[in-house]
Structures are given as C-alpha cells and as structure tokens.
Structure 1
Amino acid sequence: MTWKRTMIETGRGDFEVFEKGSGPPLAVTHLYSEFNETGDYFAESFVETHTVYLINLKECGRTDKASFPHELTMLESALDLEAIRNELEYERWNFAGHSTGGMLAVVYGIYFSESLETLIIANAAAREYMTFSEDCIYNESHSKFNRMQSLIEALKNEGLSKEERKELTVERTKLSLWNPQKYEHYFNKSIEKKMSAVRMNFLARELHTFDVTRKLALITAKTMVISGSYDVQCPPYYSEEIAEGIPGAVLYRFHQSNHYPHLEEGQKFKQVIKAHFD
C-alpha cells in the first residue's frame, strides 16, 4: 500500500504531505529527506497504530521553496509543523523524529509541547555532535570520515541515475549498521527517497551553533528517547543527555543497533513504541 499524497495549504506556504495508517495522528519528518508515495522506513513503524503524516519540509519534493534562508532553520521548521497541524485541525498530535528529524523533534517539543500528546526522539542530539566526538563518523578523527563525506557529496548530485543513487545510498547506509551484511534484510521494501542538497548544506552550517540542552527542561510532553548502542552518527551519550534533561523522559537503548534500531531490532522497536503509547 502506497502513501496517499496531498498538499496542505497554510499561511506559511504549501506543504506536500503523505498519509498512511489509522488511529491517532502522528507526524514524521526529517530535516533534509525528500519523501514520496513510497514512504519511509521509520514512518512505517507507526502506521499499524496511527494515522501517520509524512511531511516534506520546504525545498523538499513539491513543498514550496524557501524565499529566505532563515526559513530552513529548525525553529522555522517547527513553526511550519504547527501550521500544518492547525490546518489539519488537530488540537494535539504526536511527533516522532529519527536522526535530524529527532533534532527537530527536540526543538518542536521545547517550543510547542502544548501541541503534543507524545514525543519520540530517536538517534538524535540536542547539540552539535561532531567536533568533540571521535566516535562520531562525522568527526575527522573517525576512520570512516572521508568515505562518508565523499558519499554525501556524491548524493547531492541531481544528475545521478537511479542505479547510481541506489549504489551510493546503500554504501552510505551500511556505514551506519551494526551488521552491514543484513542490509538487504533490513531494507527490503520499495521505498525510495532523495536528499535536498539545499537543506543539507544549510544544516551543515546551522549545526555549528546548535545547542538547546539548557532548554530541554521546557519539554512537558510525554517523551521517549531512543538510541542504538553502536550509533556512529549520533553516539548514544547524546541521547542520554536528552533524556536526562527532559522531565519524566524514558530512555530506551537498543543494544544490537547502530543508527537504525527501527530496522535492526524492528520487532522490539514496535513493542517499545506500543508500550509507550499504551
């Protein structure tokens, strides 16, 4: 079953949104992924229990372009989420974010907890996580740093063929799996997505000054923080920091996962999520 595409018109622009599932509303997005009708692996984890809204932010897919650079910041993206929620006429909804989507989840929770029933922050950080983290693959001291950077730059090329993009994406993803040999087992659906080079380049700048750790206590929504014990992108101690800073937050670490616990330990992930919502 593919995702149903719709355009949501708001006072902040028109947003491309994909819907699937049934149950209470839950929004999912990522800071630079371009989604389409094939969906998203992280978002798929919630469709059995929720009506999931998979959102393309500005500069992604058919969503409006940004008129000014500041529209690409995490705070502006959180304001966009609020505009979409209001247009869908939900007094409250749930939000789940993975990786940079999890970073946006932190910002959204800080400023708009009153709009949230629950918040799920997976494999993320509340501050810049590269400079002082030698076990982060985006740190120059990491053994796989150069290869990861070359793959990211290659994937920004809009002229890639479908086959070339898939080959590069597979190699990049394997760098963030606890057991790379199981790639085909994990990524076994016909899900395809691209990266917005504009948003990714902006994030690379915004990250250098990103630190909302002192505001974590402002999050009042029911929160679950998730991490993989071997995460090379956002090392687990950043998730611990988030959970410690949010009142009442629950931390769940997946001990046989790198950056993708929703796939690497998929069944356990769904059980943990279900318990969170019960």
Structure 2
Amino acid sequence: MNTQTAMINGAELKLELLGPEDAPAMIVHHGAPGLGSRSEPLRSFGPFADEYRIVTFDARGSGESADVPPYTHTQWVADIDAIRELLGLEQVIMAGGSYGGFLAMEYALAHPDRVSALILRDTAANTDYDHLAVERARTTDRVVIDEWTIARIGVGGFADNAEFERYWRSILPLYDHNYDPEAVERKARATRYHYATHNHAFGVNMPAYDLTGRLAEIGCPTLVVVGRHDWRTPVPASQAIADGIDGAELVIFEESGHSPQLEEPERFQAVVRDFLRRAGIGGTG
C-alpha cells in the first residue's frame, strides 16, 4: 500500500494506491462529500489489488484532503483527471458509489477516451427519487428520525460541523440492511466532518444535477449494482441508469441496503470480476 499527499489543482489530496503498477488501473471515488473518504473504497476494492492497480483518494473537502473550494462537479472531475495524469495512466476503470457514482458518470462523459469500463454502485442520474428517501426516513420503524433531520436530506444547510454530525448520527441507521447500533456509533465516531463541502454539494450542485439526457453518450462497458433495500438511492434510480446506457448491466443485491460492496462482499467481488473479464479487462492473476 502506497499512501501519499499530492498537490492536485491547487489542493493537497491524500491518495492511497494498491496493487501492481503494471496492472489495469481502477480509480474509485467515494461518496458523501464532506463525510466520505478513501476508507470505504479501500475496503470495497482493496481485494481487487491482486489483479488491478487500485487508486483511491480523499476528494477535496473530504477526509484528510484540504478544504479548498470550489466543491463543484467540474472541479472534482478535473481532480480525477489530474490524478490519472499524475500517475501516468492512459485509461482507467472508473468506479464510484452514491455521490461518487455521480462523478464517475460525469468523468466518463467528460473524458470518454480515458474510461475503459464504468462501475456504478447505489447511485442516480438525477434527483427524481429523492422524495422516496424522505418518505423512507419519515416512515421507518427502525428509529425515530426528527423533522429537523428529515428536512436536511439531500439539501444540506448546516451551520457548522456540530450540526452536521447531529444529522449524520440521526440518519446513519437507515443505510444498512441489518441495523447495528454499535456499528452506527463506530461510523459516526470515525467520520471526519466537512460541513461546507456537503452544503455546497447538496445545496448548490444537486438542484442542477441531471444526466438522464446524456446517458446514451456513455459507450464503455457499464456495470450498475444496487442494494434491494437502499433507502437513499433506490432500485428504480439504478434501473433508469441501466436503461439509459446501451448494454449496461444491472445487478440487484437482495440482502443489502446502500452498501452491497460491504454487506455482500463475496458476491460483489465475484460480480465485478466477472464483468471486467467479460469486458476484456482481465488483471494479472
């Protein structure tokens, strides 16, 4: 494992690389701007380092990377390409989950010649399904989620990191198929909070986000995976992506919520390896 700090478009970003340098490369983008980090892609895609070069990083404004705006899709896509160029990669497999899936699709559209395959996990091409997340939060029998929290789903508007943490602790119980209060507490404690990043991502970027009219432009092999019980980006959102990209494959994980890569890891890894091999992007193993 190679951990490094790199100056990318004026911001210091924390990168972590795994696997053989001469293997096909996969850049994996985490979700949840201001909450997410490379830790999830490392857990999810680390096992692929036996056959692929795995590139993970904390996006600007998240994890251990610098809080240097702008926190826009255009900037985050430019950062992905700068990382690719820094590492001397001609083509990459582009992978992303949740909000990272938004950016993976945006990258494939902006740099189609650089993407050999696309892997999307629990994501969406627009905000059409956000109301379902609000309904799920309001009607869940798992925990009681107050209206202050519900009003901030997909919107942001936090005054500081203390408010942001309050929100995250309240909403976290919805993410996994099987609710584990101790796991929720561990996740909340391990999170690095960057409220300004999240506010911009959801308060400014998302109202204008809609890739549905451009999905047909994506020409690379595409795998779309989603948990059957995902409260945040439900199955219909993934179905719409798969329907919009010619030849895209949709795989539903029946025992998962928002994170099938962690809740059903063996099946997830088998599905991804099979997809990449059929796409002609086999590894070194």
TM bucket (normalised to shorter chain) is 0.7 to 0.9
Residues 39, 192 of structure 1: 8 Å contact kept:
no
2:28: which partner in 1? 28
Find the aligned partners of 1:14 and 1:269 in 2 and give their Cα distance. 32
1:97: which partner in 2? 96
Structure 2 CA distance for partners of 1:89 and 1:158, relative to 1, 3 Å: same
Paired residue type of 1:66: V
Find the aligned partners of 1:36 and 1:150 in 2 and give their Cα distance. 28
Paired residue type of 2:57: I
Find the aligned partners of 1:14 and 1:173 in 2 and give their Cα distance. 29
Find the aligned partners of 2:162 and 2:95 in 1 and give their Cα distance. 32
Tell me the SS of whatever aligns to 2:85. Answer: helix
2:266: which partner in 1? 267
Cα displacement string for residues 227-272 of structure 1 (whole angstroms, at most 9, x for unaligned residues): 1111100011010000111111111111121111112211111110
Structure 2 CA distance for partners of 1:266 and 1:125, relative to 1, 3 Å: same
1:17 to 7, 12, 15: 15
5+ residue gaps in structure 2?
A: 278-285
1:64 to partner: Cα distance: 3.8
Find the aligned partners of 2:200 and 2:128 in 1 and give their Cα distance. 16
Matched, 1:52 2:54: yes
1:85: which partner in 2? 84
Tell me the SS of whatever aligns to 1:241. Answer: helix
2:5 to 4, 7, 19: 7
Find the aligned partners of 1:235 and 1:177 in 2 and give their Cα distance. 13
5+ residue gaps in structure 1?
A: none
1:44 to partner: Cα distance: 3.3
Paired residue type of 2:138: H
Cα displacement string for residues 78-103 of structure 1 (whole angstroms, at most 9, x for unaligned residues): 11111111111100111211111111
Q: State how many pairs are aligned.
A: 263
Find the aligned partners of 2:264 and 2:185 in 1 and give their Cα distance. 13
Matched, 1:203 2:201: yes
1:142: which partner in 2? 138
1:192 to partner: Cα distance: 3.8
Structure 2 CA distance for partners of 1:17 and 1:170, relative to 1, 3 Å: same
What's the % identity of the aligned pairs? 21
1:54 to partner: Cα distance: 1.3
Residues 90, 114 of structure 2: 8 Å contact kept:
yes
Residues 60, 67 of structure 2: 8 Å contact kept:
yes
Residues 45, 262 of structure 1: 8 Å contact kept:
no
Residues 161, 193 of structure 2: 8 Å contact kept:
no
1:18 to partner: Cα distance: 1.4
Tell me the SS of whatever aligns to 2:207. Answer: helix
Find the aligned partners of 2:175 and 2:51 in 1 and give their Cα distance. 28
Find the aligned partners of 1:45 and 1:158 in 2 and give their Cα distance. 33
Matched, 1:107 2:106: yes
Structure 2 CA distance for partners of 1:31 and 1:257, relative to 1, 3 Å: closer
1:118: which partner in 2? 117
Cα displacement string for residues 1-48 of structure 1 (whole angstroms, at most 9, x for unaligned residues): xx5321223445432211223342211223514536797433435334
CA RMSD of aligned residues (A): 3.4
Tell me the SS of whatever aligns to 2:216. Answer: helix
Find the aligned partners of 2:85 and 2:178 in 1 and give their Cα distance. 41
